[in-house]
Amino acid sequence: MKPSRALRLLAVFAAALFVLVVMTVVVSALTSPLSALTVLTVAALAFLGWRLLGRRVRRGTTLEIDLDNGVVEKPPSGPLERMLHQRAVVLRDVTDALDRAREDDRVTAVVVRLGNGGVGLAQAQEVREAVARFRASGKRAIAYAETFGEMGRGTIDYYLATAFEEIHLQPLGMVSIEGLVSRTPFLRGLLDRLGMTPDFDHRREYKTAMYLLTEKEFVEPHEEMARAILEDQMAQIVAGIAADRRLEPDRVRHLIDNAPLLGVEALEAGLVDELSYRDQAYRAAGEDGHFMYHHRYLKRAGRPHRKGQRIGLVYGTGIIVRGSSGLDPLSRGATLGAEDVARAIREAGDDEKVKALVFRVDSPGGSAVASEVVRREVARAREAGKPVVVSLGDVAGSGGYWIAAPASRIVAQPGTVTGSIGVVAGKLAPDAAWQKVGVNWGELHEGRNAGFAVPLQPYTDTERERLEAILDSVYEDFKQRVADGRLLAVDDVEEVAKGRVWTGAQAAERGLVDELGGLHRALQLARDEAGIAPDAFIQVRVFPARRAIPLPKREEGSDPVSALLGLAVSLARALAGLAGGPSVEVRMGAPRR
């Protein structure tokens, strides 16, 4: 019998023994306290043995990572989010596993499965950096794909694969590296047919969201910006593939222009190393056949940065909204609830052991009011003497940049999409659409601008005056906050603002970003900003802190007695519901800040 199988059997036996002993304790406690103590001792020893056997990492282990179903920024928090992203892996888990494994003598190689087009460009660059650090330890790194896209969507996944020592492709697979495409649906023609009037305005011309509704094709600023981003991202991909596969950039562009490529063509062109099936690729990665998924490895080996001086990590992902974080039912993406994220930043800031904060932002923006709530907490943390380093993910535009602006330092990947310092607002007025179906709206109102937010008809002249004033005010406030945070003159901010979106590389050239890199670099900068020695250990603590026991969370400003009473009331209500009795509601008057 193989040693690994024998150990697994021992672990199962220890677990079964532990369950049996627990059952025996209940019986023994009713008869003899001494017998119960003896049984409890045996149970403790059995549990300890089970834990030790279950946490073992064998020598010669090959780390296995499956990226074929995409990457998410943070662990799914709610049941719906877990259901929608049940097979996606967390980006930090991937990079942490690679960083932990490169220093672990028990791990000899890594094999990563990918190719389905679920990784963003900045995410790919973050993983590429972690792979480079892993390979620097002298260990093997193999990428395997059934296909890099199937008739499309394989460019970024292939770009990620080139960071590995070897690329294995299934014989019938393709290398679909046709390049990048930016497609924008212009809805004005449809809206005209439906009888809906888009009444929007923006600050300024590069704030392109309104063009999707007000135009039928690209206008010059929109096309100029989109083309510049596409060209810069494509240049980054070409340069990375050329360097990693030892090809000339012109040769890479020629292959891209002739894609999608069959497996044989990709092999002949030097884009892949082997045409092999999964079992063959995995055999090349780990000859002894002992593999361990990265999430299980992290549980057994532990993450890097487990002890030392504490650095807080807060996530801000999704469309920015007021209130609590959740899930957008339309986009199936996370929403960044300003109340929750602000509370997490306060919690980290109030922790005396936290020497610095890293704020990971991946957001296309959203509510200006909600963005200001989060920005204020970032600024307060800095005012309290705690450095805040922002790490930008795939997208950090508009409100996503607003909340990053007051940071001590901002780090982005070259392919990050950021900036969009501007504002857009308005409404769709379906007045003609209602008339087409025979519906007439009668209206009574008090107040000259009472219909300002009513989506039935375009703005009146006086309502439009207020809209323009609001847009001007928000835009000027946005620029001022960027100027204050980045130590720039407002006029200089105007030159990079106007609603324009930049890649991370372009933003770094224009002073909107301090350095290029990912979360790994952000942690290094946070260490430096906090004055922690380069060779000192650090502990990364995610906020809000997870509770070992899922009790109701104590609200800020409430006293412990009220919290316990609230828990008792909740339990009483639950029991009343189970018994079919009437529900009872009790309001506690605990003071709140």
Residue 436: the pLDDT is 87
Whether residues 450 and 358 fall in one domain? yes
DSSP-derived letter for residue 140 is E
CATH code for position 135: 3.90.226.10
Which pLDDT tens digit goes with each residue over 357-407? 999 999 999 999 999 999 999 999 999 999 999 999 999 999 999 999 999
Among 371, 416, 368, residue whose Cα is nearest residue 396: 416
Token pair 């999430």: residue? 295
Alpha-helix residue ranges (DSSP H) falling in 487-515: 490-496, 504-509
Domain of 26 in residue numbering reads as 3-54
Shared domain check, 536 and 477? yes
Is residue 491 domain-shared with residue 535, that is, in the same domain?
A: yes
Q: Could you tell me if 557 and 579 lie in one domain?
A: yes
Please indicate, yes or no, whether residues 556 and 531 belong to a single structural domain of this protein.
Answer: no
What the block records as the tokens of 52 is 């030790």
- CA–CA separation, 429 vs 467, rounded Å? 15
583: in domain: yes
Looking at the fold, whether 463 and 584 belong to one and the same domain comes out as no
Compute CA distances 80 → 76, 77, 335, 477, whole Å.
Answer: 9, 9, 13, 36
CB 114 within 8 A of CB 161: yes
CA dihedral of residues 533, 528, 345, 510 (deg, nearest 10): -170
For the entire predicted model, the pTM comes to 0.84
Tokens of 65: 């990572």
The number of domains in the chain is 4
Q: Is the pLDDT of residue 254 over 80?
A: yes
Helix, strand, or coil (residue 142) = strand
Banded pLDDT at 40 (limits 50, 70, 90): low
What does 163-218 look like in DSSP terms, one character per residue? TSSEEEE-TT-EE------------HHHHHHHT-EEEEEEESTT-GGGHHHH-SS-
114 and 46 co-located in one domain:
no
Considering the domain architecture, whether residues 297 and 373 belong to the same structural domain is answered as no
DSSP string, 335-352: EEEHHHHHHHHHHHHH-T
Give one DSSP letter per residue of 313-379, joined into a string.
Answer: EEEEESEEESS--EE-TTT--EEEEHHHHHHHHHHHHH-TTEEEEEEEEEE--B-HHHHHHHHHHHH
In a domain, 230, yes or no: no
Least confident of 79-93, 199-213, 234-248: 79-93
Identify residue 327 by its one-letter amino acid code.
L
Do 30 and 139 fall within a single domain?
no
Q: How far, in Å, are 52, 213, 294, 555 from residue 591 at the CA level?
A: 47, 47, 46, 10
| Whether residues 9 and 149 fall in one domain | no
Radius of gyration of the chain (CA): 28
- Average pLDDT (290-305) is 94
371 within 8 A of 355, measured Cβ to Cβ = no
CB atoms within 10 A of CB 61: 24
pLDDT band (50, 70, 90) for residue 332? low
Instruction: Report pLDDT for 5.
Output: 54
